Amino acid sequence: MSAFNDLLALSDLLRPEEDYEDDRKPSSINPSSIAPVSLPIEARDRPIGQIKVKDPKAIWDEDEITSDGEDEEFGDTRKRPKHEILYKQDVMTEDVFLGLGDKDPSTAHCDAMVVKIQFPGHTLRQIDLDVKHQKLVAQSSTMKLSTFLPYPVKHKEGKAKWDPKTETLSITLPIIREEW
């Protein structure tokens, strides 16, 4: 318990002066005069300096937030295929040559996104594709890509195309602009 008493004494030394009561001066602390305080279970199991302090401004605790991989199977050892997300924009001549349109090259003015996934050594029949409102899962017996999309999409209006030469699956998904 002497280490705990030392920590209490150290915290009193580091406390700002406005936190002290009437005298505004730190009092001398004798570690033997402090009664032993029982630590919570979480603090007893962690080494000193490893105690997590909750953020008072946080809306949720860390254990309440789901991560991207929580819906994944834990024993899944399949490789993650190489992939990229590209954006498409419908532009007219006034946008390109005259500069009269209100479009710029940012993703805020894009109409669709294209997800390209490489499945080397595969055919189209070996690949399973599932697209939801903001998540894409493409998998085969040896590879799996499960990722959240950067924007919500109209998944029922999407189109997929297989290129056998490059062994790449290209999925074009219209972006829902009203939600963002």
The tokens describing 101, both together, are 């349109």
| Model confidence pLDDT, tens digit, residues 133-152 | 999 999 999 999 999 999 99
Q: Cα–Cα distance between 143 and 81 in angstroms, integer?
A: 6
For residue 14, give Cα distances in angstroms to 2, 7, 10, 11, 137: 18, 11, 6, 5, 52
The answer, yes or no, to whether residue 129 has pLDDT greater than 90, is yes
pLDDT(163) > 80: yes
Question: Is the predicted pLDDT of residue 7 greater than 80, yes or no?
Answer: no
Whether 87 contacts 112, CB under 8 Å: yes
What would the 3-class secondary structure string for the chain be? CHHHHHHHHHHHHHCCHHHCCCCCCCCCCCHHHCCCCCCCHHHHHCCCCCCCCCCCCCCCCHHHCCCCCCCCCCCCCCECCCEEEEEECCCCHHHHHHCCCCCCCCHHHCCEEEEEEECCCCCHHHCEEEECCCEEEEECCCEEEEEECCCCECHHHCEEEEECCCCEEEEEEEECCCCC
The residue count of the chain comes to: 180
Domain coordinates in residue numbering, the chain: 2-64, 83-174
pLDDT computed for residue 29 by the predictor: 56
55-63: average pLDDT: 76
Mean pLDDT of 28-55: 57
pLDDT tens string 72-86: 556 788 999 999 999
Q: Would you say residue 32 has pLDDT above 60?
A: no
Joined together, the tokens standing for residue 127 give: 């690949």
| Amino acid (1-letter code) at residue 13 | L
Two tokens at 8? 């209490």
Say which CATH topology domain 83-174 has: Immunoglobulin-like (2.60.40)
Q: For residue 159, is pLDDT > 80? A: yes
Q: What is the mean pLDDT of residues 20-47?
A: 53
pLDDT above 60: residue 132 = yes
Question: Residue 26 contacts by C-beta under 8 Å, 6 or more apart in sequence?
Answer: 12, 13, 15, 20
Which pLDDT belongs to residue 16? 63
Q: What is the distance between the alpha carbons of residues 90 and 102, in angstroms, rounded to a whole number?
A: 12
pTM: 0.57
